[in-house]
Amino acid sequence: MNIPIRTCVGCRERQSQASLLRVRRLGHGALVPAARRGHAATGRSAYLCPDRRCLDRAIKRGGLRRAFAREGRVSVSAPEFWTALKDSVLRRREEIERSSVRGFDGLPGYRQLHMMEAAMLASRREA
């Protein structure tokens, strides 16, 4: 079975796609957390580790700008965007919990979301 591998635009480490946060650019240049399923999952995107330092590096070193260079200018506020990323992970986890009648530990993606949430909370530079 092939596991999709992506590169974090902050630290440049290659990891499984499921362990990274997906980011999309809106038409006016603002970045938003991207859904992993449905219509919102289409289009160009970039990936970040669930670590605030990677977001800071991606902004400082231009990783996000390069990832969306063809689409035009990118605007991002690190503290606000970090909060939006954390909220999107929590929302996805809560959706899984609400949709499951039985235990959700065995559902695809739940453990990964839980680990991602824990990594984000443990990140040294919380917003």
The pLDDT tens digits of the residues spanning 70-94 come to: 877 888 888 898 989 888 888 887 8
Query: Model confidence over 53-69: pLDDT tens digits?
Result: 999 999 999 999 899 88
Could you tell me the residue ranges of all domains in the chain?
5-122
pTM of the predicted structure, to 2 decimals: 0.75
What CATH number was assigned to the domain covering residues 5-122? 3.30.1230.10
Q: Dihedral angle at the C-alpha atoms of 50, 51, 55, 60, nearest 10 degrees?
A: -150
